[in-house]
Amino acid sequence: MKSFEYVEPKRILVTGGAGFLGSHVCERLLDEGNEVICADNLFTGRKRNIYHLIGNPRFEFIRHDITFPLFIEVDAIYNLACPASPIHYQKDPVQTTKTSVVGAVNMLGLAKRLGIPILQASTSEIYGDPEIHPQTEDYRGNVNTIGPRACYDEGKRCAETLFFDYYRQHDLEIKVVRIFNTYGPRMHPHDGRVISNFIIQALQDQDITIYGEGKQTRSFCYVDDMVEGFLRMMRSDAGFPGPVNIGNPGEFTILELAEKIIEMTGSKSSLVFRELPEDDPLRRKPDISLAREKLDWQPTVDLEKGLEQTIQYFRDLLSE
């Protein structure tokens, strides 16, 4: 008779778990048989993102702000808590910085006490308005430390500093991923991000707002690919803390994106142009050579396929 070895499911904390990215991470971890504790203060996260998980006996939601300590027993931490779009993180910039910095201290302290691995969701924004293209992990960035985006950019940079100091000083197992533009179902409809903005405007036949001349570029990664990158990073060799770029190297101008969304939605929208916001990066594209080498990861969902899913999500949302 074949012997059966019972494997205890891991208990995993996802901070910011009711947010766009966090809810997908929770879902994926549950699908793999883990127990998931979702901690979110619901500043930008939304309960509707996790409604479908509430009945799962392996899922637990805690309303909690990580600028305060959290006393809990878990086997791993995905630290995703922080407003990530300018319209949200600039609403309360002091709190944004505290979430990145004080929140990192609290979560690192928890990981240190428990002796468990912790993944930090960092950002391509730490590169600022880059002077090299595409951006590699060894590029130190071009960031305005006193501008309106600094609460997020510098907060995330300081969080990376804290993570690597805990790695060196306390031998803590850390994983740092730098997220590039990500999109997909469950994006906040009013987050001010370019894809959600354009889709909402196009579906309602409103003017599509383009800042500058629309020549600035972005690289858009579908959420399923991003989550796969997170999980591969968390499960990578303990001697590889990162940072590692996770994003799609396909590069599109904002004007190209607007035209594609108008075409795919059959919209009657017109394009209107506004002044470019301060410190808005003109080019953004990840070099993912390190992710390919260390994680055997690269995106698999092209922009058109990902947009189809995202457009349908917002179409359903607007019809409710």
User: Which tokens in the block code for residue 65?
Assistant: 């702000």
pLDDT tens digits along 224-279: 999 999 999 999 998 999 999 999 999 999 999 999 999 999 999 999 998 877 76
The pTM of the full predicted model, rounded to 2 decimals, is 0.93
Clarify whether 78 is annotated catalytic: no
Q: Is the pLDDT of residue 193 over 90?
A: no
Burial 24-54 (b: 16+ CB within 10 A, else e): bbbbbbbeeebbbbbbbbebbbbeebbeebe
DSSP H helical segments within the chain, as ranges? 20-31, 86-89, 93-114, 150-170, 194-203, 223-234, 254-265, 289-295, 303-319
pLDDT at 129: 86
Structure token digits, residue 240: 């590889």
Model pLDDT for residues 143-157, shown as the tens digit of each residue = 889 999 999 999 999
Task: Say what the pLDDT of residue 140 is.
Answer: 94
The whole-number average pLDDT for the span 73-92 is: 90
User: pLDDT per residue over 101-154, tens digit each?
Assistant: 999 999 999 999 999 999 999 999 999 888 888 999 999 999 889 999 999 999
Average pLDDT for 95-105: 96
What is the predicted pLDDT for the residue at 4? 47
With a pLDDT cut of 70, the percent of the chain lying above it is 97
Q: Domains of the chain by range and CATH?
A: 11-186+221-249+282-300 (3.40.50.720)
Residue 279, classed as helix, strand or coil, is coil
To the nearest whole number, what is the mean pLDDT of the chain? Answer: 93
Question: In this prediction, what percent of the chain has a pLDDT beyond 90?
Answer: 80
Report pLDDT for 274: 87
pLDDT over 90 (residue 8): no
* 1 pLDDT higher than 80: no
Dist. CA 51–CA 218, nearest whole Å = 31
How many Å apart are CA 223 and CA 25, to the nearest integer? 9
Query: Considering 89, 127, 152, 183, which one is annotated as catalytic?
Result: 152
Q: pLDDT category, 85, cuts 50, 70, 90?
A: confident
